[in-house]
Amino acid sequence: MLCCPKNDSRMAAPSGQTASVNWQVAGSVSAAHHVEAVAAEVHGESSQSESSSIEVEAVSSSWRRSAQAHHVNPESRESPRILTESSLRSSIEPIENVVLAAQTELDRLHRMVGQAGYVTLLCDQNGIAIDYRGNDQRSDEFRHWGVWLGGVWSEDIEGTNGIGTCIAECRPITVHQTQHYRARHIGLSCSGAPIFDSDARLVAVLDVSSIDPDVSAQAHALTLPLVTTSARLIEERLFRERFRKEWIIAVAPHDEQPASLLAVDRDHRVVGADRNARAQYRVDPQSIDAGMSVWAIFSRKGLLLRKGVPTDYPVRLTTVRGGDCFFALVSGPVTTSRLHVGKLEATLLMQPRIDLLEDLSRRFTIQPPRGGLAPGALRRVMEYIDSHLCEDLALETLAAHTGLSTYHFARAFKQSVGMPPHRYLLQQRVKRAAELLKQTEQPLTAIAQSLGFADQSHFSRSFHWLVGLAPSEFRRSHR
């Protein structure tokens, strides 16, 4: 994310003038070549050998943004900006909860990378370093390169760097030496990972930076997984703190999908979802505001919110869509069912768990539900229902897709989904009707007819029973 000259030990001397002279003498040739390489890449004239030094497309795109959108001068030798104490306080105040949540991970991460000469930074969404862990005896060196408390590393000011480009790309990124945009920074190496809050908004960046020009790309690449894991644990801590009064479901990684977090209230409504859960289970702010049920995501049989349980407990979850099974860890509310929790115990209950899920899932054998439909058969039936909602679907028609008698099909379907086929069909019709009410101006009679309801009255009664609002009221509330 930043840079330093080839003979860094002399440049790091307290005298800024000595450092500047060393940069001119020792770094002038490589700096000039770097500026030429940047210009060639930005104008699409880089040779194959030059392009090969740009290891990721994100860096190449960032170079073009730095030049064409931000108009950053790659030849500038100006030192990175360092905020005053009062300005720094103004940056910290809006996200003090993030700073507090990050303390344990800042310490843990720096214990792993500090011995290799790295400084660990927590930055806000503007790229300002608001907290740090580093060797105070080398503070003058770190300040010279801007990798210290108060340093400003937004991409529009410094060009491509691990903090600013991480913010621009909204994903973890490592920037090693000559991948930086400004020639002044070609001796620096950094890895940054975004931190998202419980509403999936990017609120901070966790970064480790080295001012050692001899750090190899291979050695530096090892820091990115460490930073990414620590950032994710900070996110979980923020999530658990926000929803401490609710049940929290931590779903293990599966099918190349990362671990995810859901918060559920005592009425089984989803009240919170982290960015991974939102993507995997199609949870958005509107569905949360509308009181989305957790049973719209998982089968009732696979999930139990156990009141008064003093510890986390493992469960097997089965998704309604597709019938896939995977492991999850459920944590009960910290402040309602545990009224006599002490300060130490409450602190322990707020600790992140997602880094344990993969190992726990290997120890927790998932058994297929006994007597339920096979996942493939269940998937076929659900897909058929979804594509024939407007028809009068007989039980015999659905059972034919599984090869079972109507009796055994109805029993197996309820065991797999948690409700009988006719209830599921009604639920899906109402769900589709809700989408039409929000997105179209179709009259209620037309919606009722298109979804297989007997008439508008039948549609209105069914909709009110499941949603709690009449169709017309629901439509008005979403305009």
Q: Model confidence over 260-308: pLDDT tens digits? A: 999 999 899 999 999 999 999 999 999 999 999 999 998 876 556 777 6
Tokens 């720096």 found at: 110
156 has pLDDT over 90: yes
Q: Comparing C-alpha atoms, which of 412, 389, 467, 406 is closest to residue 434?
A: 467
Dist. CA 344–CA 364, nearest whole Å: 28
Q: Which two tokens stand for residue 343?
A: 């300060």
Which residues are paired to 273 by β-bridges?
262
Residue 75 identity (one-letter amino acid): E
Q: Looking at mean pLDDT, say which of 12-16, 53-57, 412-416 comes out highest.
A: 412-416
CA angle 435, 439, 445 (to 5 degrees): 75
The CATH class that applies to domain 8-238 reads: alpha beta
- Residue 310, pLDDT score: 65
350 or 442, higher pLDDT: 442
The DSSP bridge pattern shows strands 119-124 and 129-133 to be antiparallel
pLDDT confidence bin for 128, thresholds 50/70/90: very high
Alpha-carbon distances, residue 413 vs 196, 273, 398 (angstroms) = 38, 28, 10
Using one digit for the tens of pLDDT, what is the confidence trace for 424-460? 999 899 999 989 998 999 999 999 999 999 899 899 9
CA dihedral 159, 164, 168, 171 (to 10 degrees): 130
pLDDT confidence bin for 371, thresholds 50/70/90: low
- Residue 304, pLDDT score: 67
- Residue 12, pLDDT score: 31
Give 331's Cβ-side CA count (13 Å radius).
26
pLDDT confidence bin for 15, thresholds 50/70/90: very low
pLDDT confidence bin for 114, thresholds 50/70/90: very high
Domain boundaries, the chain: 8-238, 243-363, 375-477
Q: Which two tokens stand for residue 435?
A: 């989408």
- Residue 11, pLDDT score: 28
- Residue 301, pLDDT score: 66
232 has pLDDT over 90: yes
The mean pLDDT of the chain is: 84
Q: Decide if 8-238 and 375-477 have a common fold.
A: no
Task: Give the residue-averaged pLDDT of 126-147.
Answer: 94
- Residue 21, pLDDT score: 26
CA angle 141, 146, 151 (to 5 degrees): 135
Tokens 């028809």 found at: 391
pLDDT confidence bin for 250, thresholds 50/70/90: very high
375-477: CATH superfamily: Homeodomain-like (1.10.10.60)
Whole-structure pTM value: 0.69
Using one digit for the tens of pLDDT, what is the confidence trace for 27-37? 444 788 899 88
293 or 16, higher pLDDT: 293
265 or 404, higher pLDDT: 265
Range with lowest mean pLDDT among 75-84, 313-322, 360-369? 360-369
Task: Give the residue-averaged pLDDT of 240-249.
Answer: 93
- Residue 16, pLDDT score: 34
Q: Comparing C-alpha atoms, which of 93, 123, 131, 101 is closest to residue 204?
A: 123
251: left (phi over 0), alpha (psi -120 to 50) or beta: beta
Interacting residues of 403 by C-beta distance below 8 A, sequence separation 6+: 377
Q: Comparing C-alpha atoms, which of 294, 260, 265 is closest to residue 277?
A: 260
- Residue 346, pLDDT score: 56
| Contact predicate 134/114, CB 8 Å | yes
CA angle 352, 355, 359 (to 5 degrees): 130
347 has pLDDT over 70: no
